[in-house]
Structures are given as structure tokens and as C-alpha cells.
């Protein structure tokens, strides 16, 4: 059976509260110091448990207490509250002379310590194929190494700030398994030389269990990404359009036609539309007449009662430009019609006319 990966192991241990990684890391002072404590524990704890012989006189009791107190210090240092509790129970039982109870607690303690040490040993020696591939990628893209034209086959990806934010949160919260998953997903794409190099460095830190350096690099990277993703003066100055239509394909068409000149937002129902309008601003509204939850005329009547939208241009989408619909639209406070299916040229002309 394949050995468990280090990230899976740490994730599992933390979820089972076998090791309280947060408090242990705080006690140790740094992540590298914490993993040093784990290595020391793995090397000495099984031997200490073997030496825990049941005391039959005062001298043996003193030796028993000395060994178990040494073990308790190690358990406290690595933050294993459940094992510490078992050691304390064994100590109390030995002092009270409850031999049967003490035997049972020592057996449980030995079993769980041996299991924990075996898992930690597996984690130290195991390196997955994915990690080896990522390390090879890091070596191939190391600073100073000249890349050959067309050598990097990774696709260029748009930068999504939320992915880098999540990576930072996971590293800060010691969630190595999930952090590596997102990190490797990001590394499948190409961004720019600086971002690519920092991702490789974060990956190296994570594989070495160096959370301090990984967290520092991830925060620095997120700061740079945030600046890159901040809206430019041109983007910030774009007028906002809210498109309301229950057909996602219509919204996609509207966005693709208008996004170069306007900031376009799309919603598929009246509740989402009202939530947007009460929390944001819109300079123009594109509104479908025929929607299943509420038709456009009724929705516009509600929108016009919001003071900020008393005079906002509203263009109706409809496949039925009839005299009846035109009269209803004007009664509801509509500004114009756009016939479905949407023609890109007509959409641009009518939106430009009412916004400019």
C-alpha cells in the first residue's frame, strides 16, 4: 500500500486533533522549529514508552514518574492534547496503585505513540510523483537558466486575485494539503516571469515544511497581484450597466459586446437585480420583459420607486415589439427597446445613445 503523502498526513493529524498544529507552532516559535520537535519526538518517544514499567515500590515509582514527565514535556511541546491526557492518567493511576488501570492506559499510550511515529516517519521519506514533477519544473525555471523558445508549453492564464488570496489563507492556517492543491493548479499556467518564479519558491518552501518563508512569499505575491488587479483610471471611469435576463446566453452576449466600453454586470432574476441596485450603482439597465419569476414591467415599476433610479435609462429586451408592449413599456417608464435575438450593432448604438 502506498505511503501517505506529507500534506495528507498533516491535514489528517490536525483534523483528528492528534496534534494541535496552531498552538504547537506558537509554542515552538516557528514552523521549522515545530517540525524539528516532531523529528525529536519520533526519535525518542517510543523508547520512553518502552521504559515505562509498572512501579512496585517507591524507587520504581520515582523512575516511572521521571520517564512519564519527560514524555509529557514532549507531548506538550508538539501540542498533542489527547496523548498528554493519557500520559497524565497513567501517572495518576501509578501513584494511586491502580495497576490494572495503569496497564491499560500505558498500552493505549504506547499504541497511539507508535502509530503517530510511524505516520511521521512515512511523511519524512515520502515524495509523490506530483511533487517530483513540480520540483523538476522549479529546477527548469530556476533564475539564471535560459529557457528555449517554445520550451514552456503552459497556457497563459488571466490572473484571478481570489485564487492567490485563498492560497495565502490556507498557508497562514497551516492547511498544507489544500494549499499545495491550489498552488499546483496555479503552476499549470504561465503568468509572467516574476509571478512564475515566486510560485516555484512558495512550492519549494511548502515541500520543505517551511511555512514561514512560504507565507512571506505568498503575501508579497498577493500584494503585487492586488496592485495589478486594481482598476485603472480608465476602467474605474467606465459607466456601469446592469443586464437582467433569465437566459444566461443573452447575458453572455451582452457582456461580450459591451465590455470593452462599459462595466457590465448580469443577473438572472428580480431578487438578484434588486440586491445589486440597492448595493451598487448603475447608469443604464437592460431588462428582459418575459421572465418566469416577475415580468419586466412589474420589476421596472419597483425599480422606479428607488430614488437613485427614478430617471435611469431602461432598455427592454423583447422578441415581441407590439403596440401593446410599447404602451406598457412607456407606462412603466421604459426608455427604448432592443429586439431579440440581440444584434450587436443595434445594442451598441442604443446603449451609446442613452448613455451619451
Q: What is the pTM of this model?
A: 0.38
CA 282 to chain CA mean position, Å: 31
Instruction: Specify which residues 156 forms β-bridges with.
Output: 190
User: Given this model, what pLDDT does residue 191 score?
Assistant: 82
**What are the phi and psi torsion angles at 51 (to 5°)?**
-80, -5
How far is the C-alpha of 334 from the C-alpha of 105, rounded, in Å? 79
Closest C-alpha among 153, 149, 209, 144 to residue 179: 209
Q: Is the pLDDT of residue 129 over 90?
A: no
Angle at 353 between CA 350 and CA 356, to 5 degrees: 140
The set of residues, in sequence order, having a beta carbon less than 8 Å from that of 209 and lying 6+ positions away, is 6, 31, 32, 35, 176
pLDDT band at 254 (very low <50, low <70, confident <90, very high): very high
User: Given this model, what pLDDT does residue 111 score?
Assistant: 86
Secondary structure of the chain in HEC code, one letter for each residue: CCCCCHHHHHHHHHHCCCCCHHHHHHHHCCHHHHHHHHHHHHHHHHHHHHCCCCCCCHHHHHHHHHHHHHHHHHHHHHCCHHHHHHHHHHHHHHHHCCHHHHHHHHHHHHHHHHHHHHHHHHHHHCCCHHHHHHHHHHHHCCCCCCCCCCCCCCEECCCCHHHHHHHHHHHHCCCHHHHHHHHHHHHCEECCHHHHHHHHHHHHHHHCCCHHHHHHHHHHHHHHHHHHHCCCHHHHCCCEEEEECCCHHHHHHHHHHHCCCCEEEEECCHHHHHHHHHHCCCCEEEEECCCCCCCHHHHHHHHHCCHHHCCCCEEEEECCCCHHHHHHHHHHCCCEEEECCCCHHHHHHHHHHHHC
CA 210 to chain CA mean position, Å: 19
Q: What are the structural domain ranges in the chain?
A: 6-125, 129-141+158-229, 235-355
User: Given this model, what pLDDT does residue 134 score?
Assistant: 39
Query: Which residue would you say has higher pLDDT here, 318 or 30?
Result: 318
Domain 235-355 has CATH 1.10.10.10: no
Q: Is the pLDDT of residue 314 over 90?
A: yes
Q: What is the mean pLDDT of residues 98-120?
A: 82
CATH class of domain segment(s) 6-125 = mainly alpha
Q: Are 347 and 250 in contact (CB under 8 A)?
A: no
179-183, 238-242, 255-259, 319-323: which range is least confident on average?
A: 319-323
pLDDT tens-place string over residues 264-309: 998 888 888 888 888 788 999 999 988 888 888 889 988 988 888 9
Instruction: Specify which residues 263 forms β-bridges with.
Output: 240
The set of residues, in sequence order, having a beta carbon less than 8 Å from that of 309 and lying 6+ positions away, is 277, 282, 285, 303
How far is the C-alpha of 104 from the C-alpha of 90, rounded, in Å? 8
The set of residues, in sequence order, having a beta carbon less than 8 Å from that of 292 and lying 6+ positions away, is 246
Q: Rg for the chain (alpha carbons), in Å?
A: 32
Q: Is the pLDDT of residue 5 over 50?
A: no
Cis, bond preceding 341 (omega within 30 deg of 0): yes
Q: Are 210 and 176 in contact (CB under 8 A)?
A: no
**What are the phi and psi torsion angles at 266 (to 5°)?**
-125, 140
93-97, 152-156, 255-259, 307-311: which range is least confident on average?
A: 152-156
How far is the C-alpha of 116 from the C-alpha of 20, rounded, in Å? 13
Amino acid at each position: 500500500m502506498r505511503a501517505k503523502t506529507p500534506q495528507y498526513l498533516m491535514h489528517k493529524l490536525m483534523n483528528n486533533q492528534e496534534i494541535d498544529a496552531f498552538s504547537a507552532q506558537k509554542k515552538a516559535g516557528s514552523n521549522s522549529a515545530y517540525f524539528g520537535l516532531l523529528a525529536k519526538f519520533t526519535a525518542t518517544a517510543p523508547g520512553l514508552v518502552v521504559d515505562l514499567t509498572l512501579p512496585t515500590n517507591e524507587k520504581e515509582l520515582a523512575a516511572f514518574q521521571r520517564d512519564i514527565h519527560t514524555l509529557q514535556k514532549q507531548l506538550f511541546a508538539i501540542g498533542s492534547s489527547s496523548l498528554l491526557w493519557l500520559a497524565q492518567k497513567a501517572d495518576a493511576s501509578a501513584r494511586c496503585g491502580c495497576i490494572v488501570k495503569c496497564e491499560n492506559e500505558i498500552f493505549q499510550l504506547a499504541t497511539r505513540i507508535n502509530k503517530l511515529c510511524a505516520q511521521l516517519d512515512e511523511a519524512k521519506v515520502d515524495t509523490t510523483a506530483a511533487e517530483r514533477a513540480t520540483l523538476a519544473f522549479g529546477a527548469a525555471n530556476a533564475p539564471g537558466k535560459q529557457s528555449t523558445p517554445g520550451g514552456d508549453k503552459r497556457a497563459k492564464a488571466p490572473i484571478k486575485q481570489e485564487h492567490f488570496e485563498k492560497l495565502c489563507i490556507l498557508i497562514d492556517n497551516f492547511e498544507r494539503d489544500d494549499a499545495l492543491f491550489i498552488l499546483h493548479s496555479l503552476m499549470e499556467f504561465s503568468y509572467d516571469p516574476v509571478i512564475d518564479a515566486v510560485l516555484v519558491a512558495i512550492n519549494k518552501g511548502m515541500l520543505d515544511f517551511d511555512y514561514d518563508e512560504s507565507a512571506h512569499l505568498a503575501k508579497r505575491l498577493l500584494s503585487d497581484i492586488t496592485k495589478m488587479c486594481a482598476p485603472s483610471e480608465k476602467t474605474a471611469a467606465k459607466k456601469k450597466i446592469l443586464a437582467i435576463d433569465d437566459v444566461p446566453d443573452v447575458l453572455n452576449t451582452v457582456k461580450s459586446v459591451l465590455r470593452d466600453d462599459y462595466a457590465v454586470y448580469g443577473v438572472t432574476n428580480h431578487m438578484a437585480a434588486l440586491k445589486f441596485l440597492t448595493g451598487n450603482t448603475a447608469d443604464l439597465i437592460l431588462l428582459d420583459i418575459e421572465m418566469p419569476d416577475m415580468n419586466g414591467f412589474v420589476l421596472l415599476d419597483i425599480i422606479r420607486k428607488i430614488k437613485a433610479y427614478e430617471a435611469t435609462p431602461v432598455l427592454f429586451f423583447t422578441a415581441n415589439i407590439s403596440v401593446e408592449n410599447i404602451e406598457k413599456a412607456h407606462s412603466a417608464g421604459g426608455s427604448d427597446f432592443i429586439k431579440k435575438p440581440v444584434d450587436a450593432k443595434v445594442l451598441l448604438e442604443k446603449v451609446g445613445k442613452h448613455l451619451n
